[in-house]
Amino acid sequence: MNYRPKKVKGVMEVLGQQELKQRKLDGMFLNIAKEISTMSHCQRAKVGAVLVKDSNIISFGYNGMPAGMDNCCEEASTTGGLVTKYQVIHAESNALLKAAKMGVSTVGTTMYCTLSPCKDCSKLIMQAGVERVVYLELFKRDEGAVEFLSKFIKVQKHDK
């Protein structure tokens, strides 16, 4: 009788598998955020955000005008380009507001964003109890928002 002990997975192997699984989930939810960003009517930047709890999407948002307003997000600037209207609500804020409107708790969630959150969205994310933010690209006017947010919750850029 040959007795062969079952192969016991080492702690590092299990952790590696968990990290791989999380990385795959991160990629999937970021792809969903990219798809949601296509709903935006903004011309200069289309941004999407997805709020996830226990691997389930609880809310999502994209940048755009408040409900009931014209969906034109930009206006001509005096220098000839386009400038974003002050009324535009960012994708992250829209995702948080939608959850609040539906009475869904955002405590302990992960937010997936196509761009890193700005300063104002970072404050809202923190206050809403989001535990982790994963983003694809750094917001061009970051102004230290990622550094600020990283002091309080886990923030990471997703490497493709």
Catalytic residue IDs: 92
Q: How far apart are CA 4 and CA 133, in angstroms?
A: 45
Within the chain, what is the greatest distance between any pair of CA atoms? 87
Distances (CA, A) of 142 to 35, 61, 88, 146, 147: 23, 20, 17, 7, 9
Q: Which two tokens stand for residue 26?
A: 């991160």
Closest CA to 34 of 134, 139, 112, 121: 112
Q: Which residues pair with 75 in a beta bridge?
A: 83
Q: Which residues pair with 74 in a beta bridge?
A: 84
Q: Which residues pair with 137 in a beta bridge?
A: 115
